[in-house]
A and B are shown apart, each in its own frame.
Chain A
Amino acid sequence: MSQTPHPLWLLAEVTYRCPLHCAFCYNPVDFAQAGPELTTDEWLSVIRQARAMGAAQFGISGGEPMLRDDIEILVGEARRLGFYTNLITSGVGLSEPRLAALKEAGLDHIQLSFQDATREANDLITNTRTFELKQQVTRLTKAYDYPTVINCVLHAANIDHVGCIIEMAVALGAEYLELANTQYHGWGFLNRHALMPSAKQLRHAEAVTEQWRARLGKQMKIFFVTPDYQENKPKKCMNGWGEVFLSVTPDGLALPCHTARMLPGFEFPDVRKQDLAAIWYESDLFNRFRGTAWLPDTCRTCEDKEKDHGGCRCQAFMLTGDAGATDPVCAKSAQHGLIDDALKLAAAVRNGQIVQPLVFRDPKTSRALERAF
């Protein structure tokens, strides 16, 4: 393999704490078992090391990052070092004084996650009454001259409201709207049969989105992300394992992908014990699925292998039990039948033939379930 590239992205998942309880949350189901959060100084050290390695994008997410009171400090240091700083927040806790301080610290960009436009559906899926608050927050970020960038996770219960979601984004003066179907990781995986929309729902949502795009032109850009299971096309996981992206968990584990901590058979490198460059360049975790040399036979002989590197490792593991398998989302995977089974099961849940109530994310449930995904 050619020379290992340096990371471009540092994602700091600063906390697993969150006031919301999204059933599609991609955090690990066993997040309540995680160790103590990194301190401010420990984060600052991670930020400095990543910048020295050449990373230029710094993302802060969680959980809900605003539950920590040192976000302003982390942003300030990252910005001073030349990072482009992105905050990914549900908006809960983003008060005016804190926003003013973040602006002062040099925060470049805010992405607001917004669950749904209709109050009922929003509350159903986040299990709290946060809708009005989000409207307030969008107005506030605008007042501080941030472009309004909204991310809304789609799933079976809200996808039929996609027209309302777009309308609401327009009313708020959003410049960008990302309509991303649930990624089936963590809690999203646990709930996937209840969250998966039907092919018909998807087609409808895409058609509505298309109409709005034509109408809105440059005023608001809309990105529509289809769910993996319905695509038959594996995605290049993190743009290449260990090539671009470096994620650090609240308790200090460095990962090539923010969901990788449930993969078995790894010793996850700890930023408290090792320096970041050694982790990135030398650890087994970062090297195991780097490039294409490790690919299983199905992929090795495939002309698309440079395009997708065999798909998502976490998905391969969650579905087949083997993290080194071809992503079963791929039609060429011998285990593609697992996807068909999941789609069938989801249809049965939608029709009410099978009852699968949503499991909402919270620490108590996390401890009770005793599972990683």
Chain B
Amino acid sequence: MKPLPPAGARPRIARLFRFQWEPAQQAYVLLYPEGMVKLNQSAGEILKRCDGRRAVDDVVADLEQTFATSGLAAEVTAFLGMAEEKGWIDWNVGAEVAA
């Protein structure tokens, strides 16, 4: 198993990637050198909140509030683990809040 991110670490989109809404795809996408990943709706909603400011708990809370639901923590954590594995996100652990 991979070690968990340090407590309070804030996920953010990795340097090589850009996250945006793509009108032609009607979807959120990740753009990277010479490629593009089209995201499904839940992946898009999670990554949209990975701004390097919010900790995982805050991302979960925000999603649960927006979609008036609960119990999303496991799904979000699993997705972020996969996203880190693919290099889409990394963790902001500094005291500084990313711009």
Interface residues of A (CB under 8 A from B): 6, 8, 53-54, 56-57, 59, 82, 84, 86, 108-109, 111, 145, 147, 149
Bound complex: CA of A147 vs CA of B32, how far in Å?
12
A82 touches B20 (CB 8 A): yes
B15 touches A54 (CB 8 A): no
Cβ 8 A contact of B33, one of A6, A82, A149:
A149
Q: A147 contacts which chain B residues (CB < 8 A)?
A: 15-16
Q: Please provide the chain B residues from 2 to 40 with a CB less than 8 Å away from any CB of chain A in the complex.
A: 15-16, 18, 20, 22-25, 29, 31-36
Q: B15 contacts which chain A residues (CB < 8 A)?
A: 145, 147
Bound complex: CA of A54 vs CA of B38, how far in Å?
13
Bound complex: CA of A54 vs CA of B16, how far in Å?
21
Q: B33 contacts which chain A residues (CB < 8 A)?
A: 84, 86, 108-109, 111, 149
Bound complex: CA of A54 vs CA of B15, how far in Å?
24
Q: Which residue of B lies closest to A221 (CB)?
A: B87
Bound complex: CA of A6 vs CA of B15, how far in Å?
27
B22 touches A56 (CB 8 A): yes
A84-B18, A108-B18, A147-B16 are known contacts. Are A57 and B24 too (CB-CB below 8 A)? no
Q: A111 contacts which chain B residues (CB < 8 A)?
A: 33
Cβ 8 A contact of B36, one of A8, A53, A86:
A8
One digit per residue, 1 when the CB lies within 8 angstroms of any chain A CB and 0 when it does not, for chain B 21-65 equals 011110001011111100000000000000000000000000000
Interface residues of B (CB under 8 A from A): 15-16, 18, 20, 22-25, 29, 31-36
Q: B20 contacts which chain A residues (CB < 8 A)?
A: 82
Q: Given A53-B24, A56-B22, list of 10 further CB < 8 A pairs? A: A54-B24, A54-B25, A56-B29, A57-B31, A82-B20, A108-B31, A108-B33, A109-B33, A111-B33, A145-B15
Q: A8 contacts which chain B residues (CB < 8 A)?
A: 36
A84 touches B31 (CB 8 A): yes
Q: How far is the CB of A355 from chain B (nearest CB, A)?
A: 39
Q: Which residue of A lies closest to B14 (CB)?
A: A147
Q: How far is the CB of B26 from chain A (nearest CB, A)?
A: 11
Q: B36 contacts which chain A residues (CB < 8 A)?
A: 8, 56-57, 84
Across the A-B interface, give the 5 residue pairs with the lowest CB-CB distance, nearest first: A54-B24, A84-B31, A109-B33, A56-B36, A84-B18
Q: How far is the CB of A145 from chain B (nearest CB, A)?
A: 8
Q: A56 contacts which chain B residues (CB < 8 A)?
A: 22, 24, 29, 31, 36
Q: B31 contacts which chain A residues (CB < 8 A)?
A: 56-57, 84, 108
Bound complex: CA of A54 vs CA of B25, how far in Å?
8
Q: B29 contacts which chain A residues (CB < 8 A)?
A: 56
Bound complex: CA of A367 vs CA of B68, how far in Å?
69
Bound complex: CA of A108 vs CA of B31, how far in Å?
10
Bound complex: CA of A8 vs CA of B22, how far in Å?
11
Bound complex: CA of A53 vs CA of B20, how far in Å?
17
